[in-house]
Amino acid sequence: MEQLEESLYADLEHELSLEDFEPLDPEALVKQYNLSLTQTLLFYSTELTFTTIGNWQRIFRQIKWLGLIYTIIRGDSGYEIRVDGPASLFKLNRRYGTSLAKLLPTIVQNREWRVGAKILRYMGDRRLLDLELNNEKHGAIMKTLGTPEKAEIYDSQVEKSFAERFKAMDTGWTLIREPEPIPVGRRVMIPDFAFRKGGMTVYLEVAGFWTPQYIEEKIRKLQQLGDVDMIVAVNRDLACQKLDKIGERLNVIYYKRRIPLRPILVHLRAREERLVVEQTRRLRAEPLPIQRTVVDSSELAAKLGVLEEAVKAVFEEREFPGYARLGDILVKKTKLTEIRGKLETRLNNGELDFVEASRIIEDAGGRRADNLLDALGYSIEWHGIDPHSTKIRRKEKI
């Protein structure tokens, strides 16, 4: 009985027992000191805003456990969380400020993060100081002791297996574990995964287990998602008719032992194809910024913020004066003439292999040596797998 009474409050911070201690090296101690100094500033803040990548479930569990008041804000680059500071309440509350400060280590443990805060210098002074931190500038000088960076954590083997199999497919979509939260009324929903490509985002929620309360809450959130593109993977053994109703609006798929890839890939491909059609239509109606000597479709797509397939489609449809199209790149005709002259000069002095020809082309500012050689009227003779054993020949004119 005595042991049970001792365990009842073991989760409280002041009841925690020190079981082990490892000496600290000076650098780790300085990083922890920097983090602790930063935390003390939050004791007198009016608000804390932050965004991060990953570990959202853990962050919101911490927010709830600390009893913090938060608002989720949708910005141009995603979602941002604003947590009220102690100085924004009816009176400056040191206890609330301490709770807010305890959230900071959980945020800075992630790979990427950005934090901003409004700091009150002291009571009676209305001026606010801006505190701005991010992982690129400050991540290397702040660290939480006792929490080494861990590999990605999954809630179940089903989720881990799905992530590994999807990443092995190399679809061009980026898979993100626990993406940014989605506002659902006054609460938030954090999907298990997000698929990202070319400005598109598709979410995946895995419903692998449930209780009546869990499924009611899940359905209520899913029904409030609006125009969010969500795939819901449901364990068939635990499915109920209520989730079938969600399937009228969301994409519900069922699984037994593991989440099937095919219906997800079909959905992503359909989204991609629709976006390519929309972006191609838009690119047709506007001039493309074709100025460089060599224009790569992938680089141009990244610059325009569109999918590469849309740029390729326009390349195939449109003529670009002064340029020749070689597959998915455009090259100025004057550059082709310059490269042909260099290759001819070298061929007149003896045999030329593919390695040297590629170097001549790259030194002259060209790319994709094999495509460029073919367009200039040269063929590549292979005598084994070693590129040094190849011979560059002039194609016979018919």
**Domain presence at residue 17:** no
**Domain presence at residue 126:** yes
Q: What is the mean pLDDT of the chain?
A: 81
- Dig out the tokens for 1 from the structure: 């009985």
Residues 109 and 134 reside in one and the same domain: yes
Residues 257 and 323 reside in one and the same domain: no
Distance in angstroms (rounded) separating the CA atoms of residues 103 and 97: 10
**Domain presence at residue 222:** yes
Positions of E strands within the chain: 45-52, 70-75, 78-84, 113-120, 128-134, 174-177, 182-184, 187-189, 193-197, 200-207, 230-235, 251-255, 294-296, 323-326, 329-332, 378-381, 391-394
Residues 265 and 304 reside in one and the same domain: no
**Residues of the chain whose pLDDT is less than 70?**
1-7, 74-78, 87-94, 122-126, 145-153, 185-187, 208-220, 222-223, 226, 238-250, 397-398
| Domain end position, chosen among 89, 107, 141 | 141
Give CA angle at 94 (93, 98), nearest 5°.
Answer: 120
86: domain CATH number is 3.30.70
181 close to 188: Cβ distance less than 8 angstroms: yes
The model scores a pTM over 0.75: no
Q: For the chain, how many structural domains are there in total?
A: 3
User: What are the angstrom distances between the C-alpha of 177 and each of 79, 122, 167, 255, 263?
Assistant: 16, 41, 12, 20, 19
**Domain presence at residue 252:** yes
Distance in angstroms (rounded) separating the CA atoms of residues 234 and 208: 6
Distance in angstroms (rounded) separating the CA atoms of residues 115 and 132: 6
Residues 132 and 163 reside in one and the same domain: no
Mind listing the pLDDT tens digit for each residue in 263-285? 999 999 999 999 999 999 988 88
For residue 252, the one-letter residue type is V
306: domain range? 292-398
Residues 42 and 106 reside in one and the same domain: yes
Mind listing the pLDDT tens digit for each residue in 284-329? 888 888 888 888 888 888 888 888 899 889 888 888 888 888 888 8
- Dig out the tokens for 233 from the structure: 């993977």
Distance in angstroms (rounded) separating the CA atoms of residues 264 and 246: 17
Distance in angstroms (rounded) separating the CA atoms of residues 154 and 88: 36
Residues 193 and 108 reside in one and the same domain: no
Residues 127 and 165 reside in one and the same domain: no
Mind listing the pLDDT tens digit for each residue in 210-252? 555 666 666 667 667 767 888 888 887 765 555 555 555 567 8
**H or E element: which one contains 95?**
helix 94-108
Buried b (16+ CB within 10 A) or exposed e, 241-254: eebeebeeebbbbb
- Dig out the tokens for 59 from the structure: 């962050």
